[in-house]
């Protein structure tokens, strides 16, 4: 069961609850990115199960008129078990998407997974261009990764980065991350044909994206999380911006919830009060 404390960020346990939410968002012109919660599996069986669930979810979405897609995590598809397991499961999900005209996003986890994630993405996006991958502005390597991706089909989602990373590989000061985000976003708009997703709730970055779109004409969309600035999501959609909400569902909510709490002081206080019952 999803405890009340996590319900701000998680749609429910079943795919049906996530689809219901997607349907409601559709009324406001907001698209849906469906994410089955699950990560860091140490065995193959749950990774195979989740890959199968994503294939079914893509078929379910295709049978509707909803503007919805899926987003998968590498360690959910078996990266911790072995790179070949992840690659096989990603291929299964991408084959299902290709069969029904679906779109697959690949989330980015901590920096030790970046190479394996980009390699698998590159293989699959050459087979099915209806794909995108996430890059994190806090990582020092991201500028080079953007240059690599710019030569491929598909989209890129730029985020600030949700994982605690060491300073050898990442900017750890918030101002430095924001500066890197601005520079990376400019590079993406200047060099990408496939389209750029602004995975941020930060009004300054969304406003910069509007300016960059006006300057370079690159297609873009804004992506935000369920439970965060939902009024802004509706307002942007009403203003003719393509907006997608990332909708996590399933019972493996703890790690995801922890990241949402960790990235904002107010959430941590809210969680503490709920735990203490006050
Ligand atoms: C669609 C989407 C997909 C993502 N995928 C990945 C991924 O694959 N890998 C990865 O590392 N990270 C991912 N992230 C998370 C991202 O890296 C950031 O941790 C997160 O988005 C917060 O950064 P921000 O850009 O919103 O800016 P911030 O500067 O952190 O926040 C700007 C404002 O947004 C609001 N806000 C931000 N976070 C919260 C919150 N948790 N609760 C309430 N309000 C909040 C606040 O008003 C805050 O002032 C994703 C984010 C989105 C929106």
How many angstroms does the Cα of residue 225 sit away from the middle of ligand 1? 7
Among 34, 106, 162, 257, name the best residue to mutate to test ligand 1's pocket (greatest count of ligand atoms within 8 A of Cβ).
162
Distance 160 CA to ligand 1 centre (A): 7
Give the pLDDT confidence of 23-64 residue by residue, as tens digits.
999 999 999 999 999 999 999 999 999 999 999 999 999 999
Annotated catalytic residue, options 87, 157, 252, 260 = 157
Kindly report the pTM of this predicted structure: 0.95
Contacts of 160 (CB under 8 A, 6+ apart): 136, 137, 138, 177, 178, 181, 200, 202
Is 143 catalytic? The answer is no
- Is the pLDDT assigned to residue 278 strictly greater than 60? no
**pLDDT value of position 220:** 98
Q: What is the mean pLDDT of residues 76-102?
A: 98
Among 114, 139, 145, 202, the mutation site with the greatest number of ligand 1 atoms within 8 A of its Cβ is: 202
Q: Is the pLDDT of residue 240 over 60?
A: yes
Mean pLDDT for the stretch of residues 69-89: 98
Which helix (H) or strand (E) is 25 found in, with range? helix 15-27
Q: Does residue 164's CB lie within 6 angstroms of at least one atom of ligand 1? A: no
When pLDDT is averaged across residues 235-263 and rounded to a whole number, the result is: 93
Q: Which CATH architecture has domain 4-276?
A: Alpha-Beta Barrel (3.20)
Question: Separation of 228 CA from ligand 1 center, angstroms?
Answer: 8
Q: Is pLDDT of 175 > 60?
A: yes
C-beta 248 within 6 A of ligand 1? no
181 Cβ below 6 A of ligand 1: no
Percent of the chain predicted with pLDDT > 90: 87
Determine which residue's CA is closest to atom 49 belonging to ligand 1.
202
pLDDT at 10: 94
Domain range list for the chain: 4-276
């Amino acid at each position: 069961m999803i405890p009340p404390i996590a319900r701000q960020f998680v749609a429910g346990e079943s795919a049906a609850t996530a689809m219901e939410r997607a349907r409601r968002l559709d009324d406001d012109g907001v698209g849906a990115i469906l994410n089955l919660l699950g990560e860091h599996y140490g065995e193959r069986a749950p990774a195979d199960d989740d890959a199968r669930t994503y294939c079914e979810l893509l078929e379910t979405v295709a049978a509707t008129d909803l503007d919805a897609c899926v987003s998968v995590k590498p360690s959910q598809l078996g990266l911790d078990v072995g790179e070949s397991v992840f690659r096989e499961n990603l291929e299964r999900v991408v084959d299902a998407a290709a069969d029904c005209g679906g779109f697959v996003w690949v989330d980015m986890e901590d920096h030790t997974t970046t190479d394996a994630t980009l390699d698998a993405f590159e293989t699959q996006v050459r087979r099915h261009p209806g794909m995108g991958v996430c890059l994190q502005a806090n990582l020092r390597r991201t500028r080079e990764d953007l240059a690599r991706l710019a030569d491929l089909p598909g989209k890129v989602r730029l985020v600030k980065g949700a994982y605690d990373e060491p300073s050898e590989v990442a900017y750890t000061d918030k101002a430095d991350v924001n500066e890197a985000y601005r520079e990376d976003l400019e590079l993406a708009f200047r060099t990408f044909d496939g389209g750029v997703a602004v995975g941020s709730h930060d009004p300054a970055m969304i406003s910069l994206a509007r300016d960059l779109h006006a300057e370079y004409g690159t297609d873009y969309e804004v992506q935000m999380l369920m439970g965060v600035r939902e009024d802004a999501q509706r307002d942007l959609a009403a203003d003719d911006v393509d907006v997608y909400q990332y909708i996590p569902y399933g019972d493996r909510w703890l790690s995801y919830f922890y990241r949402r709490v960790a990235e904002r002081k107010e959430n941590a206080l809210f969680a503490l009060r709920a735990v203490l019952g006050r």
